[in-house]
Structure 1
Amino acid sequence: MSTLNFALKNQTGSNTVYAYITGQAIDNNNALFLLQADGKTAYYPTSPSATQTALAQDCAIPLGASGSTKTVTIPHIAGGRLWFVRDAKLTFYLNPGPALVEPSSSNPSDANYNLYWDFCEFTWNSSQLYVNITFVDFVSLPIALTLTNTSGTSKSVQGLPSDGLATICTALKTQNSKDSAGWDKLIVTTNGNNLRAVSPNTGITLDNTLFKTYYDSYVDQVWSKYTDTALTVNTQGSAGDVTAKVSNGKLTFSTGSISYDQPSTADIFSNSSGAFAVSGDATKDAITARLAAAFNRSTLLTDTNQPNGETVANYYQDAVTNHYSRICHATTSDNRGYAFPYDDVAPTDGADQSGSVYDPNPQLLTVTVGGASSSNSTNKSVNQGDTTTPSQGTQKKSRFAGLKKVMQKLSRKR
């Protein structure tokens, strides 16, 4: 099978919703790919002579009135994104390469900045279809996934309810009233209405004074704890368990010459800078993923075995934690959704946090934008944190840990 159908459902309440599909065409030498407005014709842009060149084809796929479903057909795609925008169209540009200039949630001068848009991510190759919802950059339009395979079995990610953005924004304000850390500054509005809630990493891009020293006290406590106590990290790969202690100011592992300086708050929220920069060493990068996840979830003071000593009930319990991630998970209908780049890290055979579905034999992917008509968050304590173990998703996640970052690299060409 060289093509696959996606069913795109408009549940937004608006009769003007468009979808865009972008990525790299695996069967066409990984050429830059966009799907045209008819939902079936491929568009392979050529390299323009200048930056910020308009697309030569219309790639805005109309979904029809609210309640409608539009079926589109795609080839094998790597680093794919499925974009949705409400009440307008998105603007994409081409740079020489060709490289696609995508809408930005961190550049106020971007043509799309004040529009209501969002996206999910996917890769479909000869091995499987992998799809996830994402809150790594921001939250705006609710997106849900249902993947049905050729045997008729379906897997779902419920995503945010229709009032999810409002719930998240309220919870961010409540958290900020408790610690004055700046969580309310993650809320972006237009004409007095909530437009999106951005992640701390995006927030720092918009305001480099935000969260400067937020994690400092927690990191100091972690370094103190592991001066005398051994930390065990299961790489969930060929290196197995590795142990570490703090020596001469560095968290030093017993395997090879792997060590870490104390990460900054920016390192923790980005998962990719300073102490947590990608090294190219498979074992170190596996350790980095698990350390970064543990810092975002604030489990290093309570669990000396990462990630296998953790339970979902222990996530986000420290006062210093990634409250944006906590709130996003608590607001989704099944507690699942990528809220930081290594949110696919989980205990072996543990509960999925990343909001992903995957199958080697996909038949149909249904993607719903707009969310359920009412929120179940009234039965949760979003402001205090919800620690209910998700009822769905118990697949081993080690083979996907860090896949988010790979997909970002593939799909964010400028």
Structure 2
Amino acid sequence: MFRLPKVLASVVSALVVATGLTVLGPSTSAEAVPATIPLTIKNSSGRSEPVYVYNLGTELSSGRQGWADANGTFHPWPAGGNPPTPAPNASIAGPANGQTRTIRMPKFSGRVYFSIGQKIVFKVTTGGLVQPAVQNPSDPNRNILFNWSEYTLNDAGLWINSTQVDMFSAPYAVGVKLANGTVKNTGRLKPGGYNAVFNQLRSAGWGGLIQNRPDGTPLRALSPGHGIEAGGLSAGVMNDYINRVWSRYSSSTLTVTPFANQPNTKYYGRVSGNVMNFTNGSGAVVTSFQKPDSDSVFGCYKLLDAPNDLVRGPISRTLCAGYNRSTLLTNPNQPDPNNANFYRDAVTNHYSRIIHGQMVDGKAYGFAFDDVGAHESLVHDGNPQEAFMTLEPFN
């Protein structure tokens, strides 16, 4: 069912405290941000198949789930059923190769999906929209080529990302035009980067993440957590690193400084038995974590759950980043600000490592809290004039 995307939930709801960014107040930005803004989609994919676009999410003014048409008009989902029933056709005809199409984005937290060649199958259950889950081999979208961007447009502006948190698939970049006419972009692969991701996953022994069409053409690479679920990656793939971290901090202290703009707010982690306890400067235990498994690390959830609070969530985000980037053993002060230190251990999140390495700007959402230290593929502006999505070449 649809919910605020985890990536943007982490960015927007904790933006000031977790990243140190300044958000324009409603009194300023409500006047600047209209009810809808244009989204221009450019098709540079080099492919001849038709493109279908979907703008799905939660209408922020009402909290209702639904979809927006090309004019940005909101349509709520019908009641749905159990088993799920077909959703209304929310598709918008996308641009042909070499062309552009401009639609309107309303004040949503949601996703802009696009598919190439076939429409995505969406269904509605009693709890809302059922999203594609291609780690399930019986999902009707398993052999459809599609991808999505997550965004939030509200009175404080636009946040729009290029996300690989769930999968790496059809390449695209996103952008936002500022009031002065300049454009901020992210998500663009290096020339040859699309094929390089698949080839390097195979070389790293993580080729089980790749899902192919029946003819052998790669459709996507699942993220590691979904890969474990689908049987393409060992459930214990991170165990050796997790065990070494547990051993190290049984006899030394891990210091976490979770807020970029609050350098004096620190928490101190020590392992005792199966628990890592974090204390504040007064020595009081503020939260504790059981020893995580690989899926908890990759998903930044379960045993590394990160609620939107001011203590456990920020500590968990930092731990999650340190585990995925394999920096917890090389730096006892987290987060490590130097991306030259990331992914250096033999046991690491190779999926995230490889995708970051193929991005023009080095930024990606290889896991949910890749925004720790601002290494995520996200653009934001408090007074957006226009948003962009570019379908990139498959090379």
Determine the structure 2 residue equivalent to 1:370. Answer: 392
Separation of aligned partners in 2, 1:368 and 1:272: 31
Q: Does 1:3 align with 2:36?
A: yes
8 Å CA contact retained: 1:235, 1:241: yes
Match of 2:117 in 1: 87
- Provide the C-alpha distance between the structure 1 equivalents of 2:46 and 2:71, rounded to a whole number of angstroms: 22
Partner letter of residue 96 of structure 2? A
| TM-score normalized by the length of structure 2 | 0.85
Output the CA distance in 1 between the equivalents of 2:279 and 2:330: 21
Aligned to 1:264: 293
Deviation track 1:121-156 (CA, whole Å, cap 9, x = no partner) reads 000011121111111111111110121122223211
Q: 1: CA distance between counterparts of 2:80 and 2:254?
A: 52
In 1: Cα distance, 2:133 partner to 2:141 partner: 7
Task: Name the structure 1 match of 2:258.
Answer: 235
Q: Which residue of 1 aligns with 2:218?
A: 194
**Which residue of the other structure, out of 72, 75, 87, is the alignment partner of 1:55?**
87
CA distances 1:200-250 after superposition (whole Å, capped 9, x unpaired): 11101111x832222222222212222232211012076811112223442
Assess if the C-alpha contact under 8 Å between 2:152 and 2:160 holds in 1: yes
Shift, 1:166, TM fit: 1.9
Q: Secondary structure at the match of 1:258?
A: strand
Match of 1:356 among 339, 356, 378: 378
Alignment correspondent of 1:103: 132
In structure 2, give the amino acid aligned to 1:289: R
Q: Once structures 1 and 2 are overlaid, which stretch shifts more, 322-331 or 100-109?
A: 100-109
Deviation at 1:267, TM superposition (A): 1.3
Contact 1:47 1:94 in 2 (8 A): yes
Shift, 1:284, TM fit: 1.1
Quick one: distance in 2 between partners of 1:53 and 1:216?
41
Counterparts of 2:96 and 2:76 in 1: how far apart (Å)? 29
Q: Kindly provide the amino acid, as one letter, of the partner of residue 306 in structure 1.
A: Q
Letter in 1 for 2:299: S
Which moves more between the two structures, 232-241 or 58-67? 232-241
Q: Which whole-Å CA distance do the structure 1 matches of 2:243 and 2:87 have between them?
A: 50
Give the counterpart of 1:251 among 276, 283, 297.
276
Alignment match, 1:72: 103
- State yes or no: 1:321 paired with 2:351: no
**CA shift digits 1:369-410 (9 cap, x unpaired):** 124x86xxxxxxxxxxxxxxxxxxxxxxxxxxxxxxxxxxxx
* CA contact 1:39–1:71 (8 Å) conserved in 2: no
Q: 1:280 to 1:313 in 2, by over 3 A?
A: closer
| Bigger Cα displacement from structure 2, 331-340 vs 242-251 | 242-251
CA distance in 1, matches of 2:347, 2:190: 27
* Counterpart Cα distance in 2 of 1:169 and 1:258: 39
Aligned to 1:203: 227
How many matched pairs? 354
CA distance in 2, matches of 1:280, 1:240: 17
Q: Cα distance, 1:50 vs. partner?
A: 4.6
Q: CA RMSD in A?
A: 2.0
CA distance in 1, matches of 2:174, 2:251: 46
SS of match in other structure, 1:245? strand
After superposition, the C-alpha distances for 1:144-191 in whole angstroms (9 at most, x for unaligned) are 012112222321104225743321111011111xxxxxx110111111
Which structure 2 segments of 5+ residues have no match?
1-33
Q: Which AA in structure 1 matches 2:279?
A: S
Q: Is the 8 A contact 2:286 2:311 kept in 1?
A: no
Distance 2:187 2:278 in 1: 39
Question: Post-superposition, which runs of at least 4 consecutive aligned residues in structure 1 deviate over 4 A?
Answer: none
- Aligned-partner SS, 1:73: strand
User: What residue in structure 1 maps to residue 321 of structure 2?
Assistant: 293
TM-score scaled by structure 1? 0.81
Q: Measure how far apart 1:43 and its partner are.
A: 1.9
**Separation in 1 of the partners of 2:294 and 2:318?**
16
Is 2:306–2:317's contact at 8 Å kept on the other side of the alignment? no
